[in-house]
């Protein structure tokens, strides 16, 4: 598997990253450790988590994913040196008062969250520390428009960068990144870093898949010109692009028992639960089958091969799913298939934005 450099940092990661938000909710610790073992065996050196995981977020499972990973690292002392470990500080509370008190995200919040993540992960350094969502009020998680009247920002980007810079200087963080960010946010973080001699963001982790290509609506040019790498999350559209919802009667709340979307009420109300997203996903899935591919192969090959993507984050609930996703690496899409993908997008646009 190819390795890529993340932005202007010295981090070299595989083109596929193991996402872990299911650990501690859908996936118990024993299975999670088996997935981590297998991922490392297959050469994946990039691991992504967050302080707020497991998902769906609950007070009882806050920090559970990092704890599970920390326990695995403690059992496998040689693994830490082989891995690029990424985690995230949660942005302002989105109905999660257990993350922190208040609605903002202060510089001290960033420092405190980092310290807590280091403890749970049982490591001395986080390789890539990301802001999970902006402190500003921006369109995200299914919100379509920016509304200035809802802006409640209390901590400037400069203050956030200053806090992150202190963590880098202390050796607790190697590189920094953003997530669920806008072109404005990326530009401002880079501009202020260069102006004040602070760490430059290496990455942005945003959704990117066949039913959500909003990255290509200007953010891709921003990242390309500023030398910031894209980490694509939800490449399978929260399961819609695997084909498991293609049978009539598996929409939304009626999804098969055990399927990820069936247990996520908030998700069904957001982008992945929109009827238009399922309709578009079924068109892509049919395209895959018509060309001798599984829906999973088509969706992952799309992300794995796009110039915009540095590393694709895959989330799994079993070793078998992990193997299926990794086996799709190396799949190429013909010019005919790519043209048909663009034709469907022209008609369906980005229903899961």
Where in the sequence numbering do the catalytic residues fall?
Answer: 53
The residues pairing with 261 across neighbouring beta strands, listed in sequence order, are none
Residue 13: count other Cβ atoms within 10 Å of its Cβ. 28
* β 84-89/201-207 pair status: unpaired
Q: Which two tokens stand for residue 294?
A: 């599984």
CA atoms within 13 A on the CB side of 345: 18
Q: Which residues contact 187 (CB under 8 A, 6 or more apart)?
A: 222, 226
Q: Please name every residue paired with 314 in a beta bridge, in sequence order, or none if there are none.
A: 18
CA 240 to chain centre: 16
- Cα torsion 311, 63, 35, 250: sign: negative
Residue from 39, 34, 15 nearest 329 by CA? 15
Report residue 86: phi and psi, to 5°. -120, 140
Question: For residue 151, with 0-12 CB atoms within 10 Å meaning exposed, 13-18 middle and 19 or more buried, which class applies?
Answer: exposed
Compute how many other C-beta atoms are within 10 angstroms of the C-beta atom of residue 234.
25
Q: What does the alpha-carbon distance between residue 170 and residue 225 come to, in Å, rounded to a whole number?
A: 30
Q: What angle do CA 96, 314, 112 make, to 5 degrees?
A: 35
Nearest 10 degrees: CA dihedral of 18, 22, 23, 29? Answer: -110
């Amino acid at each position: 598997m190819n390795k890529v450099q993340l932005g202007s940092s010295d981090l070299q990661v595989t083109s596929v990253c193991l996402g872990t938000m299911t650990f501690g909710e859908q996936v118990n610790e024993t299975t999670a450790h088996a997935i981590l073992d297998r991922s490392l065996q297959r050469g994946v050196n990039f691991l992504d988590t967050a302080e707020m995981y497991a998902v769906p977020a609950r007070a009882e499972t806050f920090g559970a994913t990092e704890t599970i990973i920390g326990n695995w690292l403690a059992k496998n002392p040689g693994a830490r040196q082989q891995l690029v470990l990424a985690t995230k500080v949660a942005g302002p509370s989105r109905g999660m008062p257990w993350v922190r008190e208040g609605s903002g995200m202060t510089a001290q919040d960033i420092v405190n969250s980092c310290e807590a993540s280091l403890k749970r992960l049982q490591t001395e350094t986080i390789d890539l520390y990301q802001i999970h969502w902006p402190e500003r009020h921006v369109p995200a998680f299914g919100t379509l428009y920016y509304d200035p009247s809802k802006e409640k920002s209390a901590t400037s980007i400069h203050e956030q960068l200053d806090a992150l810079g202190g963590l880098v200087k202390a050796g607790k963080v190697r590189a920094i990144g953003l997530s669920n960010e806008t072109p404005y946010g990326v530009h401002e973080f880079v501009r202020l870093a260069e102006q004040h001699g602070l760490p430059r963001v290496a990455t942005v982790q945003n959704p990117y898949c066949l039913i959500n290509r909003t990255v290509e609506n200007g953010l891709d040019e921003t990242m390309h010109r500023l030398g910031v790498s894209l980490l694509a999350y939800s490449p399978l559209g929260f399961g819609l692009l695997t084909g498991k919802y293609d049978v009539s009667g598996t929409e939304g709340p009626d999804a098969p028992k055990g399927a990820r979307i069936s247990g996520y009420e908030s998700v069904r109300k957001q982008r992945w639960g929109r009827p238009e997203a399922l309709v578009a996903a079924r068109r892509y899935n049919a395209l895959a089958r018509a060309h001798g591919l599984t829906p999973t192969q088509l969706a992952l090959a799309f992300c794995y091969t796009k110039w915009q993507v540095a590393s694709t984050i895959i989330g799994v609930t079993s070793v078998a799913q992990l193997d299926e996703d990794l086996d799709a690496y190396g799949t190429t899409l013909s010019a005919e298939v790519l043209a048909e993908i663009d034709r469907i997008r022209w008609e369906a646009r980005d229903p899961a934005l």
